[in-house]
Structure 1
C-alpha cells in the first residue's frame, strides 16, 4: 500500500531544502558549507511523533522500509562516476585503495569508548565504520535496522549528517593551512564514502585552488565512489568481524558478563 502522506511530506522537505541551497560562512581561517541534506534531516526530525507530530509511528515504519532501496540507488550512482575519471583513478589507485585501511581506525578507537559509555550491541553498528550510506545498508541487511546494531549505525549516521559536513569543511581548510599535503592528496582524503562530507570538504578545497577545481572534484568524487564500493567490502570482510571480535573481548572487562550475542535481548 502506498503511503501518499509520506511521499508528499518527503517531496515538500526536498523542495524546501533545495530552495534554501548552500549556505557558506567563514569560521576563522576555515569555511563552513551547509548542504540541503542537513536541512532535510533537521526538518524531518522536527516532524516526527516526538516533535511536531506531523508524522505518526506508522509513517516512520513505512519510511524505514524505504531506506535500503534509496541507498541502492545511491550506490548505483557511485558506479556511474567511475567512467569519466577512470584514467585518474587508475593512476591514483594504490593510494585510493590503501586509504580504506584508515577507516578501520574507527574500530580501535570507537569500540572501547562505546563500551565505556554503556552501549551494548549498538556498539557494532556505531563503530564498525564511519557509518555512512553504504554502511547503513550493510548493517540493515546483516542485522536489521530495528535492532540494537541498527540503532547504533543510524545514531552515528544522523550525528555525522548534522555535524560531519561542518567538521569536514573546517578540517579541509585547517589542514590546508599547514601546507603539508598536496591539494590532490587532500582531495583524495575528502572521499570517505559520504556524499555530503565529500562535497563540503572538496568544495572548500576547490574554492581555495580554483585553477585545480576540476582535478580536485574529480579525485574527491573518485575517492568517495571507491570508498563506497571497496569500503563496503572492507566492512563486510574485515570491519564487522573485527568489531564483533573486539566487542566480545572488551565487553566482559567493563561489565563482568559475556557480550550479548546477535538478536539477544538486552
Structure 2
C-alpha cells in the first residue's frame, strides 16, 4: 500500500473516530435564563478536530490537511445531493414561501457590507476590507476576488482571511447563535432555517442541527428551508456579488475610507486599484 493511501486511510479513521465520539456525547442544552444554548455533535467534532490538528501537537501534517480538504469537497457534494432529495418532495412549500425566501437573501449581501465595512476600516484595514466584507467569502466569492484583483492583491488577502475565520469558527458561531435565537421563542423556526442558509454548507449544517435540537417537531421543514436558502444563495450569490455587492463595496470604500480609515501600517496595502 502506498504512503498516500496510508495517509488517506488515517484521515478516514480519525474522522470516523471523531464522529463516533461526538455522537456518543450527544446533544445537550444549557439554560441561560433568557434562552437555551444547544450544543450538538457537530460542534464537538469541530472542536476535537481543531485540537488534534493544532500544529504544535504534530499529530497531523500539512499533507494530511490537504487530503482532508479534498475529502471535504466530496463530502459537501454528498450533502448537496441529500438536500436535493429533501427539497424535491417539498417544492410546493418552497414556492409558497417564495417571496420571503428571496427577501431574506438581502441580509446576506447587505449585512456584510453595511455592518462589516465600517468596522473593518475602524480596525485599520485598507483595501483588504473590500475583499473581507463584500460577501461571506466562500469558495465562489474567493474566485471572484482573485479573478478581478489577483491572488497577491490586498483584496484577496482580506477575502482569504475571512474565509479561514469562517472555516474555523463560522460553523461553531452559527450553531451557537441559531440555538440561542431559537430558544428565545421570538422567531419562527422556518424563518431561522432560512437564515441558516447563507451559502456555506458547513455553517448551514451547524445552524440547522442546532435548530432541530430546539425544534425537533419541525425537523423536516428546517432541513428543507435551510437547504433551499443555501442553494438560492449559492446560485444567485455569484451574480449578486459580481454585479452588485462588489461594486457597492468599492464605492462605499472610497467614500468611507477617508472618514473612518486609519493610517496604513502595512506597506502592501496599496491604494492602487481602480473600481
Q: Give the shorter-chain TM-score range.
A: 0.7 to 0.9
Q: Is structure 2 residue 262 aligned with structure 1 residue 255?
A: yes
CA distance in 2, matches of 1:75, 1:243: 32
Which residue does the alignment assign to 2:165?
A: 155
1:15 and 2:12 equivalent?
A: no
Of 208, 218, 224 in structure 2, the residue corresponding to residue 218 of structure 1 is: 224
* 1:66 equivalenced with 2:66 (yes/no): no
Name the residue aligned to 1:45.
50
Match of 2:183 among 161, 168, 173: 173
Displacement of 1:83: 1.5
Please state how far the C-alpha of 1:170 moved relative to its aligned partner: 0.7
1:119 equivalent to 2:120? Answer: no
Q: Which residue does the alignment assign to 2:239?
A: 233
Q: Distance in 1 between matches of 2:162 and 2:196?
A: 24
Task: Tell whether the 8 Å contact from 1:33 to 1:200 is kept in structure 2 after alignment.
Answer: no
Task: Using structure 2 for the length normalisation, give the TM-score.
Answer: 0.72
**Superposition RMSD in Å:** 3.5
Shift of the alpha carbon at 1:16? 2.1
State how far apart, in whole Å, the 1-side matches of 2:229 and 2:48 are.
30
- Residue 83 of structure 1 aligns to a residue whose secondary structure is helix
Aligned length: 250
Whole-Å Cα distance in 2 between the matches of residues 2 and 101 of structure 1? Answer: 48
Deviation at 1:183, TM superposition (A): 4.3
CA distance in 2, matches of 1:2, 1:86: 46
Please give the per-residue CA displacement for 1:183-214, whole angstroms capped at 9, x wherever unaligned: 4434433433332243134314423xx2x443
Q: How far apart, CA to CA, are the structure 2 residues paired with 1:16 and 1:232?
A: 36
Flag structure 2 segments of 5+ consecutive residues without an equivalent: none
Distance 1:247 1:45, change over 3 A: farther
Deviations 1:119-140 (A, max 9, x none): 3454344322344xxx234314
Aligned residue number for residue 54 of structure 1? 59
Q: 2:27 touches 2:40 (CA, 8 Å); kept in 1?
A: yes
Moved more, 191-200 or 136-145: 136-145
Whole-angstrom CA distance in 2 between matches of 1:216 and 1:127: 28
- In the TM superposition, residue 117 of structure 1 has moved relative to its aligned partner by 1.6
- Structure 2 SS opposite 1:25: strand
Deviation at 1:100, TM superposition (A): 0.4
Aligned partner of residue 30 in structure 2, secondary structure = strand
Instruction: Summarize the Cα distance change of 1:9–1:120 in structure 2 as closer, same or farther, 3 Å threshold.
Output: farther
**Secondary structure of residue in 1 paired with 2:57:** coil
